[in-house]
Amino acid sequence: MSDVKWSDADLHRYLSALSTEDVMPETPTVTPALRTRTLARLRRQRFRGRWKGVAAAAAAVFVLLAYGSQSTWADVAEVILGIPVRVLSMSREEWLRGAFSNWLSMGPETEFFSPEETRELAPFPIRTPTWVPEGFAARHEPMGAYSWGHYPDEGWQRIEEDEYFFVTQTYSSDEGQHVSIIQSVRLETPQMDLPPGTEIIEVAGHPAFLERDVPVARADEENEARSRLGLLPEIVGHWNELELWVQEADGQVTMIKLSGDVSPEILIKVAESMF
Residue 124 lies in a domain: yes
- Residue 45, C-beta contacts closer than 8 angstroms, at least 6 positions apart: none
Which of these, 272, 258, 255, 267, lies nearest to 80 by C-alpha position?
Answer: 255
pLDDT digits (tens, 9 = 90+) for 5-23: 444 444 444 444 443 333 3
Question: What global pTM score does this model have?
Answer: 0.74
Residue 189 lies in a domain: yes
Residue 1 lies in a domain: no
Residue 211 lies in a domain: yes
Distances 264 to 43, 164, 214, 268 between C-alpha atoms, Å: 30, 27, 11, 6
In the chain, the number of structural domains is: 1
Residue 191 lies in a domain: yes
Angle between helices 92-99 and 32-41 (to 10 degrees): 60
What does the alpha-carbon distance between residue 230 and residue 215 come to, in Å, rounded to a whole number?
Answer: 17
- CA atoms 164, 177, 261, 179: torsion sign: negative
Which of these, 49, 89, 95, lies nearest to 72 by C-alpha position?
Answer: 89
- Residue 165, C-beta contacts closer than 8 angstroms, at least 6 positions apart: 121, 122, 123, 144, 145, 146, 147, 184, 185
Residue 42 lies in a domain: yes
Specify the DSSP class assigned to residue 118.
Answer: H
| Mean pLDDT per 10-residue interval, the chain, length 275 residues | 46 42 38 43 33 30 30 61 89 79 67 94 97 95 88 80 93 93 89 90 97 83 81 85 96 96 97 98
Residue 3 lies in a domain: no
Q: Read off φ and ψ for residue 155, nearest 5 degrees.
A: 75, -155
Give the domain range for residue 211.
Answer: 8-272
Residue 121 lies in a domain: yes
